[in-house]
Structure 1
């Protein structure tokens, strides 16, 4: 069994028709349960739940404190290459976009890492475009070994790999994997992924599971909101996280809610996830999956991120640069997307502490 079989069970499911029958009592009943079913999760994602966000928020805060304490873990992305062989209509790295491209040498990666390490961060997310023939596994393994001199945790957000390839990078020092399905709707997936390995829906869908099988300690999933129908994408993202949590008990599972930001190529999102529904989705995730990590990136604005801190979030990105070579102010490439929260790590730390929360720079390290 794979998550694809879960998707298949909902192939004829009409989420809008289901929502039309959701009542206030159904929402309240689902909200107050200790263990929620997939239908309860749907009820909390429905329009009928919107008048009850305050009660959902109180429970979400309580559950988060219960399982995570009053803590926020920090991380930052490190882009080492933006070469890509995929034609994805929504991405600034798409092969058809005439942008400035670069790939760092190991010496340049060392300099970037040294600059990032000055902030005190110990967890980083290693990013590349999806160009397997250009960004080789051996190059990534060598890059990880460089980064491990500075950071206790190196997570991967690169092209999907086979299980054995993840084992190679785990041996090099990587411990976590972020891989967004982007859009769970298969028809839309085909429409927006026109060329390259990313066009293989099933291979990408099974990627988080291959990472878990390879022994990576943490896996992060999510949908890119704006591509598909909003509640449907939130629903399948939540089911994906639950599937992984239920099957891989030793794997730490997290979920992200990236919203499309302006990128090279001029893509216009078909769906717009407003702030209120964004909050609703976070709260629904927390009530449905009390132990799931929830990440919030610098795609979101300062004020919005500050207000969301107590509603179920467990991880913040801070001081993010989305260009290759960005931390040394030697931007060698076009940025993947525009960040909205441009505060420094120090400013993010001060904000978190001002709200009575503890900043976690490091919560894991391998014992070799």
Structure 2
């Protein structure tokens, strides 16, 4: 439960400022965006495909149902742009789940508070055991993941985990509950490199239906999380929506609008995008708006054409075959050998997974697949001395 001071901070943040994305977002109408995307013509798609510097209007066209007839030329151009910017490389990372305790009730998540499942938070010794397995597999970039349980898994816990793990890994990012700016500053000082936060859906009413209890129910506070992290000096922000909660075309347009705002106002920060699709999870509802493989390919291509230097990630939520084909179509980062339950790498599976993994190949098998596609798997491609921040 929030303290009075925390509640005051939340209210102040949620009021927004003249330069906040919340102000811009509130000026857009979901249905109007939907209609504009649906009104796209073949001429609009062709203009977008050949535009030298495509923007939001072109992104709308590339997202449209009309653009599905142009996936082949979109794929050719996306491949060229990706190789020009990133070469033939795929960076690999692993999620490290620290806790599945959560105070939120979210209808799509296996960690939801109302799911009567075994809960676990890793001790420092257990974290060390997980780190040893990941290092043995070659990882140098990890993503620390928890449910949102601010009373039990708080910022002090995150700082201790980052401080403990930075002697093992060069890059440590976190996907945890939204925090305040001073908390992100403390994480940054402890050695955290990145923060990942998904808005889940930008549809306000649908958001209420999916998030029934807990701090996550505060749409505005979550929406401005990326800005607080940027102001705190975090190097990289991971973004995205949970595909399947609402119309993926409109949700993705809102994500692009959010991304462009952040890149303009926080140009020192790097950004990445992920495309999680709803996967089976204990106690979770099936997707109300399922996204097909073809539609996900179209979405990834559209992002690449409009943002040529954007880091685009694909998780082990997706199948082996699908991930194999996406190597050449704009993906730059992949997770490998993932476990989505606390202690999953080093101990028996005694706590619930957040979602089911679809690509269960080992890290070595993923590396061989990447090499067979003519690309190089990369575990580290930068150094702290040249990050520029």
What TM-score do you get using the length of structure 2 for normalisation? 0.92
Is residue 2:215 matched to residue 1:215?
no
1:1-368 mapped onto 2 (5 Å cutoff): 1-11=19-29, 13-367=31-385
SS in 2 for 1:73: strand
Write the distance in 2 (CA, Å) between the matches of 1:221 and 1:75. Answer: 16
CA RMSD of aligned residues (A): 1.3
Preserved contact between residue 27 and residue 49 of structure 1 (Cα < 8 Å)? yes
* Structure 1 residue ranges without an equivalent (≥5): none
SS in 2 for 1:130: coil
Write the distance in 2 (CA, Å) between the matches of 1:365 and 1:210. Answer: 25
Preserved contact between residue 109 and residue 284 of structure 2 (Cα < 8 Å)? no
Preserved contact between residue 242 and residue 289 of structure 1 (Cα < 8 Å)? no
> CA deviation digits over 1:292-345, x for unaligned, max 9?
111000000000000011111010000000011000133331100001000111
Q: What is the aligned length?
A: 368
Preserved contact between residue 74 and residue 318 of structure 1 (Cα < 8 Å)? yes
> CA deviation digits over 1:144-187, x for unaligned, max 9?
11111211000000010011101111111111011000011001
> CA deviation digits over 1:181-218, x for unaligned, max 9?
00110010111111000001011011111111111111
* Structure 2 residue ranges without an equivalent (≥5): 1-18
Instruction: After TM superposition, give the deviation of residue 242 of structure 1 in Å.
Output: 1.8
Instruction: After TM superposition, give the deviation of residue 12 of structure 1 in Å.
Output: 5.7
> CA deviation digits over 1:226-250, x for unaligned, max 9?
1111111111112222222222111
Preserved contact between residue 59 and residue 287 of structure 1 (Cα < 8 Å)? yes
Instruction: After TM superposition, give the deviation of residue 13 of structure 1 in Å.
Output: 4.5
